[in-house]
Copies of this chain bind each other. A is one copy, B any other.
Amino acid sequence: MIEPIGNQYVVARPVYSVNTFAEEHKKKDRYHKTFLDHLKHCCRCSPQKAKKIALSLFPIASWLPAYQLQKWLLSDIVSGISTGLVAVLQGLAFALLVNIPPSYGLYAAFFPVIVYLFFGTSRHISVGPFPVLSMMLGLAVENVASTLHVTTTNSSDSTVSNASVSMEEKVTVAATITILCGLIQLIMGVLQIGFVVIYLSESLISGFTTAAAVHVLVSQLKFMLQLTVPPHTDPFSIFKVLQSIVTQIKDTNIPDLVTSLIILVIVSAVKEVNQRFKAKLPVPIPIEFIMTVIATGVSYGFDFQHRFNVSVVGTMQKGFQPPIEPNVMIFTRAIGDSFGIAIVGFAVAFSVASVYSLKHDYPINGNQELLAFGLCNIVTGAFRGFAGSTALSRSALRRGTGGKKIQESTGGKTQIASFFSALIVLIVIVGIGFLLEPLQKSVLAALALGNLKGMLMQFSEIGRLWRKDKYDCLIWIMTFIFAIVLGLGLGLAASVAFQLLTIVFRTQFPKCSTLANVGRSNIYKNKKDYSDMYEPEGVKIFRCPSPIYFANIRFFKQKLIDAVGFSPLRILRKRNKTLKKIKKLLNEGLLQVTPEGFLCIADGIKDSDSEEVDNNQVEELHQPITTDLPFQIDWNTYPLKVLVPQVTLHSLILDFSAVSFLDVSSMRGLKTILQEFIRIEVDVYIVGTDDDFMEKLARCEFFDDEVKDTIFFLTIHDAILHILMKKDYSTSKFNFSQKKEKDFDFAINTNGSLRHRECQVPVETKF
């Protein structure tokens, strides 16, 4: 029981060093689980666990029974249809990015939705084609298909054969790569390495998706202008594409450009209206759908295809096609690209899913998501679709089109809504697909761009992050640059590496500070921050606010030396050197001792304070000072003022309360630093450490005759009180400590050695 006394902080207890505290309060023996225990726990098997695992493999089994048919079904249907219409358009548009006929995009919009329904843990994301993935896939397809073509036709000129790769071959390659991506994701899921997604911070995802939006923007330009841009490989592909576009800009198909600009302007404007009046509109205007209908009608009515030579969607495959047979040769050639696509696809989907899961508070499981996406891609690939993820724009759109009311109604049961959206896609595939044949490709591009505004608006994050946290801002910018320059796959890897590096940076240059007492109680704050500070004479309190490890131990040492104002090693060496000279002088009889101190009767000790370092004795000089002299030397009043700088410091307190860990390198470095201070008679105290900190130090043979485990105190104030008491106490006894030397004098022995005689003058307590 603690009794509060008014609004007062009143404490009276003994001063505790860690050791004295441990004596008074016995620690319980606790069994700490070893790595083996954790492993055992992890691998233990029970029927319950097996059932739980089995259930977790089919998340649908846990949420479908709770589905409230009456209440939710209607809104699910509404939401599903609106999403489905957009999915159709996006499927067509993104198939263009893969460089395959648009109709295959419908397969990519259909199969993953059905599979994800059973295996996915997120209730809100809309799986299907994703523009950036489609682009990455498109590049991989071009590369693999052309090399395949070369090897099969045995032609030596690959650039010419490139054009002759048939659409059918490309579709096969795209589907095979998709299967491979799925396999990679499946294997990652089985190996339970879905946890890697925690390394995607908000700033990284924001920067990455913005870069992805820019990539999509650039990739759609060629359809808007109807230019033939050859595929370019990363890195720098985006610049190469832009260069291609700029050099061909005079070949722009003006009708295509005009149509797409009109569509883009109308779509943007109506979306703005939807956004602004979403409270008043019962249902947002489905502008994409309207524009598609109009554009298709106009294009058909005026026969744009032949009159203006615009590029249209063209023949739509009706119905499904038989599954393909994976080609192992493609597997081996595309493994690198597939890895990138698999990771990016999963990363994007998971980051979107986690946004919704945080918002609606249900758990999502990274590993299960990996399994789900793996299966999605395998099935999709098998039926000639291509790799998908979740569409950021589609998910955002669903919110946008749904407005407040529909969004709420779609929450939680979206995978049923997805089912209806898949139904819409199915209807288009098997039935009314031919209606879309006269649609211009540039219209598809414009519709895809219309959804990117939100993602591109994320540029404003830079300013916001700069004000909040420089490192996060740096992560954003570097992620964006990496993803733009290196491409998305390599860029993501580089960004994650950079982001982890920032964690090191953040701890690498800690803001070390010197503390002092504020208000004469037990509060210690940065000396520079307050005016009325009290710092006991000869005491320094040094705080390091970060872990200490190999990369910052030198920085720590330098900061400590800056704080105390001298290098202990240098002092130590000077003292040892001087000691040698004194011994020599004593032996030669050139030194006398007066009550005031030494008297040098020779001019033997010169100030040779140059930087010449007598390395012959370098090891010896680093040793503790050996006083085989029959008297002690007070270095601060040492009369031969030429050699040894004065040290007014007698105690150094290191506040380690924020030092979360030490590694082996830093431990050795720290020990050296402590030794150096202890050897020049500065007492070092370490305060505020965790309990297991000392245990670890002991395990690492940190302690010896010089660095003892008695230097640990619970708090700064404990250490300060201990120091004050020690100094106070010491004044009543004989010693040679600071400022008391003049109370004593020496008597010279007959044989030249010195003896000290105790002083009869009562010691005036200076503290």
Contact = CB atoms under 8 A, between A and B. Distances in A.
Interface of A: 1-2, 4, 6-16, 21, 24-28, 30, 62, 66, 68, 71-72, 123, 198-204, 358-362, 408-409, 411-413, 465, 467-469, 471-472, 497, 499-501, 503-504, 506-507, 510-511, 517-523, 525-526, 528-532, 534, 536, 545-547, 549-552, 554, 569, 573, 610-619, 622, 657-661, 663-665, 667-668, 672, 688, 690-692, 696, 699-700, 714, 717-718, 720-721, 724-725, 728
A469 B547 CA distance: 15
Given A13-B9, A13-B521, A717-B11, A409 B616 contact: yes
A660 B656 CA distance: 11
A469 B10 contact: no
B554 A663 contact: no
Q: List 6 tightest A-B contacts by C-beta distance, closest first.
A: A412-B615, A201-B550, A66-B612, A13-B521, A411-B615, A472-B664
Given A9-B11, A66-B611, A660 B660 contact: yes
Contact of A465 (B503, B659, B664, B714): B664
Contacts of A552: 198
Contact of A25 (B21, B413, B518, B724): B518
A717 B523 CA distance: 12
B622 A520 contact: no
Give the residue among A66, A200, A411, A664 with the most B Cβ atoms within 10 A. Answer: A664
A469 B699 CA distance: 9
A15 B21 contact: no
Contacts of A668: 202
A412 B4 contact: no
Given A523-B16, A664-B468, A412 B618 contact: yes
B11 A15 contact: no
A715 to B, nearest CB: 8
Contacts of A528: 28, 30
A39 to B, nearest CB: 14
A8 B721 CA distance: 8
A528 B31 CA distance: 11
A530 to B, nearest CB: 5
B199 A551 contact: yes
B4 A728 contact: yes
B616 A71 contact: yes
Contacts of A663: 201, 203, 469, 471-472, 506
Contacts of A465: 664
Nearest to A727: B4
A122 to B, nearest CB: 13
B613 A2 contact: no
B547 A506 contact: yes
A614 B408 CA distance: 10
Given A8-B13, A526-B691, A691-B525, A411 B699 contact: no
A507 B549 CA distance: 12
Contacts of A611: 62, 66
A15 B8 contact: yes
A524 to B, nearest CB: 10
Contacts of A692: 511
Contacts of A16: 9, 523
Contact of A520 (B1, B200, B497, B667): B1
A8 B4 contact: no
A26 B721 contact: no
A686 to B, nearest CB: 14
A478 to B, nearest CB: 14
A470 B243 CA distance: 52
Contacts of A467: 699-700
A9 B721 contact: yes
21 contacts: A2-B724, A4-B721, A4-B728, A9-B11, A9-B13, A9-B522, A10-B11, A11-B11, A25-B519, A30-B528, A66-B613, A71-B616, A203-B663, A360-B613, A412-B615, A503-B504, A506-B661, A510-B660, A522-B522, A546-B660, A546-B661
A362 to B, nearest CB: 7
A622 B411 CA distance: 14
A52 to B, nearest CB: 14
Given A411-B616, A411-B618, 10 more contacts: A2-B721, A8-B12, A9-B522, A9-B717, A25-B519, A27-B530, A28-B530, A66-B610, A409-B616, A545-B660
A501 B720 CA distance: 38
Contact of A9 (B12, B72, B536): B12
B199 A725 contact: no
A17 to B, nearest CB: 10
A278 to B, nearest CB: 15
Contacts of A724: 2, 4
A202 B617 CA distance: 26
A208 B724 CA distance: 48
A591 B628 CA distance: 92
B202 A664 contact: yes
A202 B15 contact: no
A469 B700 contact: yes
B700 A28 contact: no
Given A500-B504, A504-B500, A660-B545, A665 B536 contact: no
